[in-house]
Amino acid sequence: MTLVARLQAELGAIVSVEAADLAASRTDKSGWTADGAPLAVVNATTVEHVQCALRLASEFRVPVITRGAGTGLAGGACGTDGSLVLSLAGMNRILEIRPQDELAVVEPGVINQHLNDALAEHGLWFAPDPASKAISTVGGNIATNAGGLLCAKYGVTREAVLALTVVLADGTLLHTGHRTVKGVTGYDLTALLTGSEGTLGVIVEATVRVRAVPLGDTVTVAAVFPDVAAAAAASARITAERLRPAVMELIDPVALAIVGRYLGPERSAGLPLGRGAFLLVQTDGEGAAIEAERVAAVMRDERGEVRVSSDQESGDRLLAIRRAMHPALEQHGTVLIEDVSVPRSRMKEMFDVIAEISARTGIAIPVVAHAGDGNLHPNFVIPADPSGAEGAAIVPDNIWAAADEMFRAALMLGGTLTGEHGVGVLKRRWLRDELGDTSFDLQRRLKAVFDPLGILNPGTMFAAS
Amino acid sequence: MTLVARLQAELGAIVSVEAADLAASRTDKSGWTADGAPLAVVNATTVEHVQCALRLASEFRVPVITRGAGTGLAGGACGTDGSLVLSLAGMNRILEIRPQDELAVVEPGVINQHLNDALAEHGLWFAPDPASKAISTVGGNIATNAGGLLCAKYGVTREAVLALTVVLADGTLLHTGHRTVKGVTGYDLTALLTGSEGTLGVIVEATVRVRAVPLGDTVTVAAVFPDVAAAAAASARITAERLRPAVMELIDPVALAIVGRYLGPERSAGLPLGRGAFLLVQTDGEGAAIEAERVAAVMRDERGEVRVSSDQESGDRLLAIRRAMHPALEQHGTVLIEDVSVPRSRMKEMFDVIAEISARTGIAIPVVAHAGDGNLHPNFVIPADPSGAEGAAIVPDNIWAAADEMFRAALMLGGTLTGEHGVGVLKRRWLRDELGDTSFDLQRRLKAVFDPLGILNPGTMFAAS
């Protein structure tokens, strides 16, 4: 019997070999599509389904690509040729919410926003907030150690994961971590698994730390500056003055012009979006208004044209400018979102490098940055194929060459080639450059402890052997 | 040539075989002392010293016990018979402070408080604050993933470590992590090494995340309640009302009576310390006063006799009650500080279990708890040997039996046997009980990847093989 026949015999209708299901599993939101076709998609709804699939995959030595909502940006969860795709999208129950312990227990397929909706009734929230939160799963957030807009103040996903239940490559169950904030018994496998992109095990349950919604109002302050240098200077001064915004987002002039055209004057919240650079700050907690006042003073001092909003509605209008970035770009083609991160003090230099690469190559590179943590998203827009052919856009070589220059510059500035999207298949070729030989080789040996047969997401992070 | 002769030939005067140095290296602040005698103590002051020591130790297959200030509470850094002790106390330079990037780069032997003194000039601080901060090293804080009073709001040490330089067992250098808040390139080795208690590698440099000192004042609120149940109820309500204290410490009646006698009425800050349970809260940030007012209202509502202080001096007097706990106990003998942690909602039950064990066994067990994160420190006081013999007190079997009951109760309540002190040698025998076989065996295999010869701190966490 083949693997697929065995799976169908043991798992029944949750095993799909429909061409449409196989095709859908080959791509993600990066625009990348894997070659060939996977053998089948297992739509798991229980832990036992996952254990069975892994046991059989081990027996047949077939690669397993674990997949949630398919919203990844690095091609790390795409069904490759001859692989078994394990979809956890159907494991989407919230198992527990414990307000007094500030934790929730969830299955991996729960959508981030759905968890937050359920928590809101208790005055709680789950802090990790990737831009994809409306469509991405908590399991995927954990597998990529997702970032977002709030990390400088509220931490990355790793800080929000207390414990995991994981199915190992051979189908056995591993429990890691604690239901407590503190706990130092043994190695921190919870942290090791967070961000491991499906290469060490399959997360089937997560105990996440949730927080009380801060008391007091959220205040939004936004400004348009003459150029990136002025916006970056304002952002650096906000940090230097010990203000602690929840959100601090910077949009460069190339991107702002595109967003300005997309929104039009009636949705610009009274700001001149057609020129200059944009900086948006949100403060929260009981001191939000005082902090926002100081933020606005710094912005004015750095020649910003400032708008302050303390009501939800006008705050939402300002935030909508930032949120319009991606849809505005998508009007012009497929968007490849890059993801370098540098120490905050080098952010201005990184903007300069990107502008120089853009000028020299003639490739437009609109940039948005999480300025609070030095995480820049330079975007490449790949126009739709004029022949109208279907299928994902192929990233042209000249764009990869420009991205390569950017990655190397980020490393030179003490940064990293991916702040929050992950390595996946798209950044694999640069991994050794950043890690160095000692770490790279050590990491491969660690993977082999978890996955001696090399069946877990081969090709992601490390080249398939 | 012997290992010691080779070390002396290569490293000279930093290699000590003085009896006093060897003896001092055998113990820590837990009161535990290793049997026998180590071969030598290497007082490293450079990375190259550490590399040389590990290269030779690998060649001779001699165990290496890495040690900082010797303030551990689990016997995890004590020179065992026939081992080489590697002291990093002399690697105590602060290499960089980067205010704009909110990071500092330090050698491992820097005392936590010294780093904080240097940071204070820049309006910055290093958040991990174990009670030992005046005497413990940053390297030791990282090796144990130290906790402290501020973790519920400001996180454990892991959250404050961005990057590490580590000497591996064979003497090679490993660099992990980033100088950025975000970074997801490869596995999170920084987190894996944090809390690994010297069993995976030797930390020779750390890039730590520092924070801006919060703006606004710190307000201290303290109260004495009729009993633990009332104090625990007040603490739970403070959490439920979404208040976010920086500090929330609870002292049980047994401990409070001892502290009250130690301080006397003139240092009691006007509180009746002789009876009842004590709860101390500090709020910080721009909203500190508003939050403190609400905290005080909750405390009064739960029958607390409340004192509020917003000036530094009277605040210090209230905090001094908590800080007097350990010196007060030490007047009565050697203190074994236990360290269980439970989900906050189970804290009251854990107090009850401890009281029941105490009543049944006749062993007094004064308890102080970090109530914000459910971390309890039940203390055992071992009277000095009436014969006046020198040397560390031996923990009597009946105390270990009581501790064993406590650990099992903590696990039953969904907690852990060590919240912040580490496993060391003293809790090794319970490690498999908490981790389970799958995790325990996996962790041993991970150790073998880093340390194939098993020379790094054998006996800590896992029994020496």
pLDDT, tens only, B233-247: 999 999 999 999 999
Mean pLDDT value of segment A135-153 = 96
- Nearest-by-Cβ selection for A184 from B102, B145, B179: B145
CATH code where residue B355 lies: 3.30.70.2740
**A interface mutation test: which of B176, B182, B189 has the most A CBs within 10 A?**
B182
Report whether pLDDT(A192) > 80.
Answer: yes
- Considering the domain architecture, whether residues A309 and A343 belong to the same structural domain is answered as no
CATH code where residue B243 lies: 3.30.70.3450
The alpha carbons of chain A give a radius of gyration, in whole angstroms, of 22
Q: Is A126 part of a structural domain of the chain?
A: yes
pLDDT digits (tens, 9 = 90+) for B150-166: 998 999 999 999 999 99
pLDDT class for A386, splitting at 50, 70, 90?
A: low
- Considering the domain architecture, whether residues B26 and B71 belong to the same structural domain is answered as yes
The 3-state secondary structure of A380-401, one letter per residue: EEECCCCCCCCCCCCCCHHHHH
A290: nearest CA in chain B?
B286
Q: Please give the backbone phi and psi of residue B212, each rounded to the nearest 5 degrees, phi first.
A: -70, 135
- Nearest-by-Cβ selection for A100 from B181, B344, B438: B344
Mean pLDDT value of segment B318-333 = 94
Contacts of A426 (CB under 8 A, 6+ apart): A30, A32, A74, A75
Look at the alpha carbons of B305, B367, A176, B401 in this order and tell me if their dihedral is positive or negative: negative
What is the percentage of chain A residues whose pLDDT exceeds 70? Answer: 98
Report whether pLDDT(B390) > 70.
Answer: no
Q: Which residues of B touch A234 (CB under 8 A)?
A: none
CB of A279 closer than 8 Å to CB of A299: yes
Q: What is the pLDDT of residue A387?
A: 64
Q: Is A175 part of a structural domain of the chain?
A: yes
Q: Please give the backbone phi and psi of residue B124, each rounded to the nearest 5 degrees, phi first.
A: -120, 165
- Considering the domain architecture, whether residues A106 and A73 belong to the same structural domain is answered as no
Q: Which of A212, A228, A245 is the last residue of a domain?
A: A212
- Considering the domain architecture, whether residues B191 and B128 belong to the same structural domain is answered as yes
Q: What is the pLDDT of residue B388?
A: 56
Q: The complex's ipTM?
A: 0.96
Structure tokens at A107: 């299955």
- CB pair distance less than 8 Å for A186 and B98: no
pLDDT class for A389, splitting at 50, 70, 90?
A: low
Distances (CA, A) of A447 to A186, A396, A462, B187, B440: 18, 32, 10, 9, 17
Mean pLDDT of chain A: 95
Three-state DSSP at A346 gives helix
CA A69 to chain centre: 13
Q: Is A286 part of a structural domain of the chain?
A: yes
Report whether pLDDT(B47) > 80.
Answer: yes
Q: What is the pLDDT of residue A392?
A: 54
Q: Is A431 part of a structural domain of the chain?
A: no
Q: How many domains does chain A have?
A: 4
Long-range contact pairs involving B359-367 (C-beta distance under 8 Å, separation at least 24): B361/B398, B361/B401, B361/B402, B363/B398, B363/B399, B363/B402, B364/B254, B365/B254, B365/B402, B366/B252, B366/B254, B366/B255, B366/B258, B366/B325, B366/B329, B367/B251, B367/B252, B367/B254, B367/B255
**A interface mutation test: which of B102, B175, B185, B189 has the most A CBs within 10 A?**
B185
Strand partners, A86: A42, A66
What is the percentage of chain B residues whose pLDDT exceeds 90? Answer: 94
DSSP string, A3-49: HHHHHHHHHGGGEE--HHHHHHTTB-TTS-B-SS--SEEEE--SHHH
A165: nearest CA in chain B?
B439
Return the closest-CA partner of residue A51 out of A91, A93, A106.
A91
How many residues in chain A? Answer: 465
Q: Which residues of A touch B178 (CB under 8 A)?
A: 341, 415-416
Q: What is the pLDDT of residue B394?
A: 77
- Nearest-by-Cβ selection for B185 from A172, A191, A423: A423
- CB pair distance less than 8 Å for A187 and B212: no
Report whether pLDDT(B217) > 70.
Answer: yes
Q: Is A249 part of a structural domain of the chain?
A: yes
Report whether pLDDT(B392) > 90.
Answer: no
Least confident range from B118-127, B303-312, B364-373, B387-396: namely B387-396
Q: Which of A179, A212, A245 is the last residue of a domain?
A: A212
Q: Which residues of A touch B181 (CB under 8 A)?
A: 151-152, 156, 341, 372-375
- Considering the domain architecture, whether residues A74 and A158 belong to the same structural domain is answered as no
Domain encompassing residue B281: 219-327
- CB pair distance less than 8 Å for B189 and A152: no
**Single-letter residue type at B100:** Q
Mean pLDDT of chain B: 95
The distance of A293 to chain B (nearest Cα, Å) reads 13
CATH code where residue A70 lies: 3.30.43.10
- Nearest-by-Cβ selection for B216 from A216, A239, A287: A287
DSSP letter, residue B73: S
Report chain B's terminal Cα–Cα distance, integer Å.
26
- CB pair distance less than 8 Å for B418 and A185: yes
Q: Is B358 part of a structural domain of the chain?
A: yes
Gap between the Cα atoms of A58 and A264, Å rounded: 55
DSSP string, A203-237: EEEEEEE-EEPPSS--EEEEEEESSHHHHHHHHHH
Mean pLDDT value of segment A404-427 = 96
- Considering the domain architecture, whether residues A226 and A291 belong to the same structural domain is answered as yes
CATH code where residue B110 lies: 3.30.465.10
Mean pLDDT value of segment B104-133 = 97
CB of A201 closer than 8 Å to CB of A175: no
Q: Which of A212, A231, A253 is the last residue of a domain?
A: A212
The distance of A5 to chain B (nearest Cα, Å) reads 30
pLDDT digits (tens, 9 = 90+) for A150-173: 998 999 999 999 999 999 999 999
Structure tokens at B141: 């804080």
pLDDT digits (tens, 9 = 90+) for A322-347: 999 999 999 999 999 999 999 999 99
- Considering the domain architecture, whether residues A231 and A140 belong to the same structural domain is answered as no
How many residues in chain B? Answer: 465
- Considering the domain architecture, whether residues A19 and A73 belong to the same structural domain is answered as yes
Q: Is B455 part of a structural domain of the chain?
A: no
Contacts of A186 (CB under 8 A, 6+ apart): B423, B431, B434, B435, B439, B440, B443, B461
- Nearest-by-Cβ selection for A192 from B102, B151, B187: B187
- Considering the domain architecture, whether residues A341 and A414 belong to the same structural domain is answered as yes
Q: What is the pLDDT of residue A110?
A: 98
**Single-letter residue type at A7:** L
Q: Is B452 part of a structural domain of the chain?
A: no
What is the percentage of chain B residues whose pLDDT exceeds 70? Answer: 98
Look at the alpha carbons of B319, B325, B326, B328 in this order and tell me if their dihedral is positive or negative: positive
Give the strand pairing for A84-87 and A40-43: parallel
- Considering the domain architecture, whether residues B107 and B191 belong to the same structural domain is answered as yes
Gap between the Cα atoms of A174 and B224, Å rounded: 44
- Considering the domain architecture, whether residues A317 and A352 belong to the same structural domain is answered as no
- Considering the domain architecture, whether residues B204 and B277 belong to the same structural domain is answered as no
